[in-house]
Structure 1
Amino acid sequence: MSDTLREKEKRKLLMRVRRIRGQLDAVERRLEEDASCSSVLQQAAACRGALDGFIAEVIEDHILENFVNRTSKRDDMRVQAAEELVEIVHSYFK
């Protein structure tokens, strides 16, 4: 992956994190305002969806960088990356 592409992906991920932070701030505001449970739950569900999307994007980037771009990676690095990815996915679904 080129440095330019990495920077673009990094900026995209940072923007996602900032949007998620904004959604979490909205949950906090709703709690402080004694909003209804349904309102809090709706906002929390939006946060979870946004975080799930972020995780999917990071996993995709990891796969593309470590498994598709074979020209700059040695086999042992790819095996290690695969093992890390499996651990992350398992921890996410526990």
Structure 2
Amino acid sequence: MSHVQENRKKLVTRVRRIGGQLASLERAIDGDEECGAVLQQLAAVRGAVNGLILQVMEGHLRAHVAESGNAKQQDELLPVLGVLRSYLK
């Protein structure tokens, strides 16, 4: 997974941010926060995890599909990435 190694710092930063969001969520639940606030934090965590998934998946597709040298595959990759971005938002 060389593409992950290339982006390791960004990925680790993103994972740490998600960890902070989860810790905040835990404190909110433990502190008996309002349901609306907890749901908002849950949505933020979900968005952050989806962003991480998209970043790793996009790196994988670009490294293993687009760089294979097949021009047709490279052209077909862009719509797939667009669908993934819209789905994981």
Normalised by the size of structure 2, how large is the TM-score? 0.69
**1:31 alignment counterpart:** 29
Runs ≥4 residues deviating over 2 A: 5-8
SS at match of 2:68: coil
Distance 2:50 2:25 in 1: 17
**2:40 alignment counterpart:** 42
Count of aligned pairs: 70
Distance 1:6 1:21 in 2: 19
Indicate whether 1:58 and 2:78 are aligned. Answer: no
Matched residue type, 1:19 = R
Change in 2 beyond 3 A, CA 1:6/1:57: closer
Matched residue type, 1:47 = V
Matched residue type, 1:35 = E
**2:72 alignment counterpart:** none
**2:11 alignment counterpart:** 13
SS at match of 1:43: helix
CA RMSD of aligned residues (A): 2.2
Q: Taking CA–CA contacts closer than 8 Å with sequence separation of 6 or more, which of the two structures ends up with the larger relative contact order?
A: 2
Contact 2:18 2:48 in 1 (8 A): yes
Identity of aligned residues (%): 41
